[in-house]
Amino acid sequence: MSDAATKTTPLYDEHVKLRAKIIPFGGWLMPVQYSSIMEEHLAVRNALGVFDISHMGELVARGPGAGAWLDTMLTNNVGKLEVGTGHYTFLLNDEAGIIDDLILYRIEEEKFLLVVNASRIEDDFAWLQSHLRGSSPPATAEVHLENKSDRDAGLAVQGPKIGELFTALFGEGKELPARNHIAQFDLGPTTLWVARTGYTGEDGIEVFFPATEAARVWNEILEKGKSLGIRPCGLGARDTLRLEMCYPLNGSDLSPEHNPLEAGLGFFVDLSKANFTGREILLREKEAGLSRRLVAFKMKGKSPPPRPHYRVFRDGTDVGELTSGTLSPSLNYGIGMAYLKTPAPKPGEEIEVEIRGQKFPALIEKKPLYKKS
């Protein structure tokens, strides 16, 4: 988090009206909670929650060479994306460190939407632009890259009652897009891009639309979802929900000092592709063996909640550091993730987390930490 927050989303006034607690986050003033993190978290697990994600970045790449060029910049296989689908992928630096993790959607045959992390918008755009101009021959004639982040708003609507809300919003006969698909729907006078994606582990959608329509769309979703138990939700619940699912957070679990293989996210890296930035280093590291891995754990017995940067011990030896940690609202015990030296302990094996100078026992767990019954 940064104390130099200067940006607000188009929904800032709506958050103030709802008496949200506002905090600085990655240069933005964002709602961390409206009621309590516990209530908002459980609303998403049991009914519905809506999050303002307008701080996320939206980059558009289009042109006859856009797909082929993006395939050299991102780890997942762009060529396998059909129109109307999306996938999770990484933007790496020359050392295979993670610049950003993002969702790439193919919205037309030659047009792609990149939804990137708020704190990385300018860096991502500059990195992509420099490679676009510096390619040989320059790809600028066949690819146009645009940063439309300031012109659009975004909402994530998550929870098991999303189907009922979707019908209430768009009418009978309209079907939710399939998982990881994206399509356009009209909500009154506003056309929305609706993607069946999310960051909570629940079913849900993420919607993108012109920033000028933000307040109207936000309030209509809250009104139509009232009978379904919808709640506005802040960054606090977003963090506890994603951590229960072991979804990584950029800037904490992911950074230029980490690569996707160490993070256990090799599924989203297609090493069979001819080339992409960082590929050769990842191939060498895979061959040589990883020096650390991102693992998930739960605390045993009573202990204070684990927090980022706490040290982890195994058999009395310091083996790593927490990147994420919290008290799980769903599970009612402390959970977290940490990069540990290899060979990393396996699920069921014990570690110790040092909290305020005292070591507390914890167990390595298989991901995700929260599993729906």
What is the residue-wise DSSP string for 298-332?
EE-SS-PPP-TT-EEEETTEEEEEEEEEEE-TTTS
How many alpha carbons lie under 13 Å from residue 104 in its C-beta half-sphere? 27
What is the band of 26 on the pLDDT scale with cuts at 50, 70, 90?
confident
User: What is the per-residue pLDDT for 260?
Assistant: 99
User: What is the per-residue pLDDT for 250?
Assistant: 97
Whole-number CA gyration radius for the chain: 21
- Rounded to two decimals, what is the model's pTM? 0.96
Please state, in angstroms and rounded to a whole number, the distance separating the CA atoms of residues 141 and 114. Answer: 20
| Mean pLDDT value across residues 291-296 | 98
| Domain ranges for the chain | 7-56+151-244, 291-365
Q: Are the CB atoms for 187 and 169 separated by under 8 Å?
A: yes
What is the band of 1 on the pLDDT scale with cuts at 50, 70, 90?
very low
Residue 168, phi then psi, degrees to nearest 5: -65, -35
Asked whether this chain's domains 7-56+151-244 and 291-365 adopt the same fold, the reply is no
Q: What is the pLDDT of residues 56-110, one digit of tens each?
A: 999 999 999 999 999 999 999 999 999 999 999 999 999 999 999 999 999 999 9
Pick the closest to residue 323 from 347, 340, 339 (CA basis). Answer: 339
Topology, domain 291-365: Elongation Factor Tu (Ef-tu); domain 3 (2.40.30)
For domain 7-56+151-244, the CATH architecture is 2-Layer Sandwich (3.30)
User: What is the per-residue pLDDT for 6?
Assistant: 82
Please state, in angstroms and rounded to a whole number, the distance separating the CA atoms of residues 114 and 112. Answer: 7
What is the band of 372 on the pLDDT scale with cuts at 50, 70, 90?
confident
Is the pLDDT reported for residue 139 higher than 90? no
Q: Are the CB atoms for 247 and 46 separated by under 8 Å?
A: no
Sign for the pseudo-dihedral over CA of 22, 23, 26, 29: positive
User: What is the per-residue pLDDT for 355?
Assistant: 97
| Mean pLDDT value across residues 35-51 | 99
